[in-house]
């Protein structure tokens, strides 16, 4: 049986119609495995930035494995998989290139500005929370579902946000798969979820784990996980656990669309689901964790200070010391300007377009010490 045949029976379409829009709206294809409503629930998506591709192939392979597991009765919970989460972005093809990071109409990053469910659902929780943590989780999920059902969608971008959040908001595990320009595999995850999420980092062989309670901009993973610790602060007398393990998984470089890597990534994700009790099976010994979690506000966004060609002097995976030269910005008609590390740490990402101008982020260094300039919005747009 082909991969397509294995997953075809699990497909469903979720329309992205804006309010008042009739036929012709795009839809998100959703693959469902296990029993609806069963626990634990896992939600995995790829392609929210529609021009980031490795996760799409990994989820294709994972879906095939899940179809087999489902047929054998090994899915103890529910798994929802969305290999291409952004059909709106997939239509933005210009000059022979897919432009899938920002919506054409608004210029807004597709992975920003998701609903703040803590703020929206919080007022509805008065009188609905008590001393039972499990009952509080159920009450909070119910309130979140209510506000999402009522959320207006005046345009397709908002309809996309609402549809994806409706699929993911009540998950016990939510993994949003992305890819960087040129990078080692790394994670963005909420500080309250660490070190509990070390099994995820170890299984996927993450080389950097960036931690933040609030990174700014309310990206998708934070919109799913963040409400739990925000509500825990708002209701300190009621036990509210971090009930959603949510993370952004950056699957290396965007050009790494490789079937072998995708199969390995799918196998690692399946082992995560097994360890977390979503799928029955023995995942084997947990691999060695190759990095520690470090604060996102300790990550240096290496910015160019001049205009010109970028000649990298440091390679991905290099351990740098503050003052080391990461790259030179070379004016073909003028001088070369060095760009230095300002912290000790791991060079885990570089920009694949080797031309820069002042302020452009050309690399990222995972450090351990908070940097004074890293405040406000901690993610580059």
Q: What is the pLDDT of residues 136-192, one digit of tens each?
A: 999 999 999 999 999 999 999 999 999 999 999 999 999 999 999 999 999 999 999
Is the pLDDT at 6 greater than 80, yes or no? no
3-state SS, residue 52:
coil
Provide the CA 161 distance to its chain's centre, in angstroms: 14
Buried b or exposed e, range 27-37, using 16+ CB within 10 angstroms: ebebbbbbeee
DSSP string, 266-314: HHHHHHHHHHTTSB-S---SPPPP---EEEGGGEEEEE-SSSEEEEE-S
Length of the chain: 381
DSSP state, residue 17: P
Query: What confidence score (pLDDT) does residue 226 get?
Result: 98
* Strands (DSSP E) found in 75-197: 78-82, 93-94, 97-98, 173-180, 182-183, 186-189
Q: What is the pLDDT of residues 207-257, one digit of tens each?
A: 999 999 999 999 999 999 999 999 999 999 999 999 999 999 999 999 999
Q: What domains can you pick out in the chain, each with its CATH number? A: 3-291 (3.40.630.10), 295-367 (2.40.50.100)
Task: Kindly state the tokens that stand for 137.
Answer: 């989780």
Query: What confidence score (pLDDT) does residue 5 get?
Result: 76
Q: What is the pLDDT of residues 288-302, one digit of tens each?
A: 999 999 999 999 999
Query: What confidence score (pLDDT) does residue 1 get?
Result: 62
- Whole-angstrom CA distances from 137 to 38, 107, 173, 220 are 15, 36, 14, 20
Q: What is the pLDDT of residues 306-352, one digit of tens each?
A: 999 999 999 999 999 999 999 999 999 999 999 999 999 999 999 99
Element (H, E) at 228: helix 220-234
State the pLDDT confidence band at 90, using cuts at 50, 70 and 90: very high
DSSP string, 347-380: EEEE-SS-EE-TT-EEEEEEESS--TT--S--S-
Q: Would you say 189 and 213 are in contact if contact means Cβ atoms under 8 Å apart?
A: no
Q: Would you say 329 and 356 are in contact if contact means Cβ atoms under 8 Å apart?
A: yes
Question: Angle at CA 133, nearest 5°, toward 225 and 122?
Answer: 55
Task: Kindly state the tokens that stand for 205.
Answer: 């062989």
Q: Would you say 300 and 364 are in contact if contact means Cβ atoms under 8 Å apart?
A: yes
For the chain, state the CA radius of gyration.
Answer: 21
Cα–Cα distance measured from residue 54 to residue 44, given in angstroms and rounded to the nearest whole number: 13
Q: What is the mean pLDDT of the chain?
A: 96
pLDDT more than 70, % of the chain: 99
Query: What confidence score (pLDDT) does residue 171 get?
Result: 98
Could you tell me which residues come within 8 angstroms of residue 34 by beta carbon, excluding any fewer than 6 positions away?
70, 75, 76, 77, 78, 79, 278
Is the pLDDT at 39 greater than 80, yes or no? yes
State the pLDDT confidence band at 22, using cuts at 50, 70 and 90: confident
Query: What confidence score (pLDDT) does residue 201 get?
Result: 98
Position of tokens 């069963």?
38
Task: Kindly state the tokens that stand for 214.
Answer: 């609030």
Bridge partner residues of 364 (DSSP): 301, 349
Nearest by Cα to 346 from 306, 293, 310, 309 = 293
Q: Would you say 175 and 167 are in contact if contact means Cβ atoms under 8 Å apart?
A: no
């Amino acid at each position: 049986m082909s991969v397509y045949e294995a997953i075809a029976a699990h497909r469903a379409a979720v329309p992205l119609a804006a309010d008042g829009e009739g036929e012709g709206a795009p839809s998100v294809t959703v693959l469902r495995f296990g029993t609806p409503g069963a626990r634990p629930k896992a939600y995995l998506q790829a392609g929210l930035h529609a021009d980031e591709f490795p996760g799409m192939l990994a989820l294709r392979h994972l879906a095939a494995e899940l179809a087999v597991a489902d047929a054998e009765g090994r899915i103890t919970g529910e798994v929802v998989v969305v290999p291409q989460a952004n059909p709106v972005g997939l239509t933005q093809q210009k000059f022979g290139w897919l432009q899938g990071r920002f919506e054409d109409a608004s210029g807004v990053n597709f992975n920003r500005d998701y609903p703040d469910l803590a703020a929206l659902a919080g007022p509805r929780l008065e009188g609905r929370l008590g001393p039972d943590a499990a009952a509080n989780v159920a009450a909070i999920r119910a309130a979140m579902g209510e506000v999402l059902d009522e959320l207006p969608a005046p345009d397709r971008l908002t309809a996309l946000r609402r549809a994806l959040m409706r699929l993911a908001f009540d998950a016990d595990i939510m993994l949003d798969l992305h890819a960087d320009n040129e990078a080692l595999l790394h994670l963005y995850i909420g500080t309250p979820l660490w070190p509990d999420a070390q099994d995820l980092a170890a299984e996927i062989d993450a080389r950097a784990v960036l931690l933040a309670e609030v990174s700014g901009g309310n990206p998708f993973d934070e919109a799913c996980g963040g409400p739990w610790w925000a509500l825990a602060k708002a209701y300190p007398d009621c036990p509210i656990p971090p009930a959603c393990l949510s993370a952004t998984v950056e699957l290396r470089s965007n050009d790494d669309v490789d079937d072998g890597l995708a199969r390995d990534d799918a196998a690692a994700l399946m082992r995560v689901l097994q360890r977390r009790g979503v799928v029955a099976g023995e995942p084997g010994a947990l691999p060695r964790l190759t990095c520690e979690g470090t604060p996102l506000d300790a990550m240096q966004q290496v910015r160019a200070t001049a205009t010109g060609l970028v000649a990298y002097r440091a390679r991905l995976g290099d351990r740098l010391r503050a003052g080391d030269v990461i790259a030179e910005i070379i004016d073909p008609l003028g001088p070369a300007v060095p760009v230095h590390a300002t912290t000790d740490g791991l060079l885990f990402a570089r920009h694949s377009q080797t031309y820069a101008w002042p302020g452009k982020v050309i690399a990222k260094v995972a450090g351990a010490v908070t940097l004074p300039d890293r405040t406000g919005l901690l993610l580059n747009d």
